[in-house]
Each structure stands twice: as C-alpha cells, then as structure tokens.
Amino acid sequence: MGIEFLPNQTLINKLNNAFEILKNKLIQSRVEIEPSPHIFLNKALDENLLKILWDDLPNDIKFGLVEEGGNILRNYAIQSYVWNAYDAFIRYILICLFPKFREWLEIKNNQLLSHNMSCSWIRQYASFICFNDPKKGVPPHTDGESSVLNIITVLGYPDGLMAPVTNFFSKEKSSGIYFPTTQYPPSRGSIFVWLNLNNAYHGVIEKIYPKRLTHIASLESYERNND
C-alpha cells in the first residue's frame, strides 16, 4: 500500500476534514425527481481526498491489465485504513440520505419499509471497488430487488483525468432500445445516489478507457432471521 496501515494523526485529521466537507455537501444537496429520484454531485470529492484514495491503491491494481468484463474487487480485497474509513463513511452517508428519498419509496412499495434496513455489509453483496472494462461502457440495467438506495463514487482514471459517469436511461417499448435521459459530464470525484425504482435504468454509455475506478455501496431491505 502507498500509505502505512496504521495511520498517523495527520492522516486522520485530513480524512476527518474531507469527510465532514463531503457529508455537508451531500446532506444539503437537492434530490432531482426526473427521470427517477437521484442526486448527482459533480466533483464532490476534493483533490486532497482523491489523492489520498488513489495513493492508497497498489500499482498492480491501478495500472495492471483489465480482464474481459472488468475487475470487481470486494471490499476485503483492499484492506487499509484509508479505504476502510471511506467505505464506512459512505455507508453512514446512505443512512443519512435515506430520509430524503423515503417518500418515493413509500409510493413504490410499503412492504420494503416493513423489512429491516441494512447497509450492504450484512448481505453477501459487499461494497466493492470496480475497474471497468475499457472496451465498453456499462449497459443500462436496474438493481436487485433487495437494493433500496445506492451510491457510486467515480474517482476517475489513474492518470488523473475525468472518467464517464453513471446516467439514467429510458427504454422505448416498441423497439426495446435504451436512450439516455440524463447527460451528466465526465468527472473526477463525482457521486451519484439513486433510488432503486422500477424505472431507474442506469449505466455508462461511453466507452471506458483506460481503467475507471468506482466505489459502490447499497442500503438494502432484508428479512431478519430470528431463529
């Protein structure tokens, strides 16, 4: 790792300050209703936090070849203070943002709210760091039924350039072809939060090259097993 596993006080202070700024940005942000409830913050992460996150990744992960279909690294694949701290912070943000989206979820399906709510580490689907396949984008799709509120951080490319971000799509009934319904520009350090409604088709229409780093986490609904 580029940064020592045991952090010094300077690093802790830098992370605390960066997280506080980012939390305030997200809490104060407005939910866009169309085409589906979401928040998009361009350049949400400041350059200091981006540098800390990138520096903490091994070079073989940052610059190694991407396998066909892209590399997905579950959160246990990168164990460091920095990434564990960012992962926990993002999960905390999901809980803070949930009240902003609750009214649309109640309209969709009250049953979801009667279940227990949990961040994704309770389930087998941990948050992950993903290096997308540089040969293509991410086809439009919706998420699994248990997924309620999702958040993706697009950290950009290893060379410091901006990378394509997630956008929404609509599906034409007659042809089955998807068309983009939002036009958010390439970014470095953007955050995209969306509610998993039936019409929340999302993906990346542009080809992704070179490797794009994203961090993804979810707030999920699940049935508690009391046995």
* Amino acid at residue number 149: L
Per the domain annotation, does 45 fall within a domain? yes
Which pLDDT belongs to residue 148?
84
Which pLDDT belongs to residue 226?
52
Which pLDDT belongs to residue 127?
67
Per the domain annotation, does 60 fall within a domain? yes
Per the domain annotation, does 89 fall within a domain? yes
Domain that holds residue 15: 9-222
Per the domain annotation, does 123 fall within a domain? yes
DSSP 146: T
Q: Return the C-alpha torsion angle 213, 138, 166, 63, nearest 10.
A: 10
CB 52 within 8 A of CB 68: no
Which pLDDT belongs to residue 39?
96
pLDDT tens for the 227 residues of the chain, in order: 444 455 678 888 888 999 999 999 999 999 999 999 999 999 999 888 999 998 888 777 777 777 666 777 765 567 678 888 898 899 889 989 988 998 887 655 544 454 555 555 444 445 677 777 777 788 898 887 778 889 999 988 888 888 899 999 998 878 888 999 999 999 999 999 999 888 899 998 888 877 888 888 888 776 555 54
Which pLDDT belongs to residue 159?
81
CA–CA dist 135, 144 (Å, integer): 25
SS3 for 106?
A: helix
Per the domain annotation, does 105 fall within a domain? yes
Per the domain annotation, does 90 fall within a domain? yes
Per the domain annotation, does 69 fall within a domain? yes
Which pLDDT belongs to residue 40?
96
CA–chain centroid gap for 48, Å, is: 19
CA–CA dist 102, 175 (Å, integer): 33
CATH of the domain at 157: 2.60.120.620
Which pLDDT belongs to residue 167?
93
Per the domain annotation, does 189 fall within a domain? yes
Give residues with Cβ within 8 angstroms of 165, minimum separation 6: 40, 154, 184, 185, 186, 187, 190, 192, 204
Burial readout 52-91 (b: 16 or more C-beta within 10 A, e: otherwise): bbbebbeeebbeeebeeebbebebeebebbbbebbbbbbb
Predicted confidence (pLDDT) per residue in 146-166, tens digit: 788 899 999 888 888 888 999
Q: What is the number of domains present in the chain?
A: 1
Which pLDDT belongs to residue 168?
94
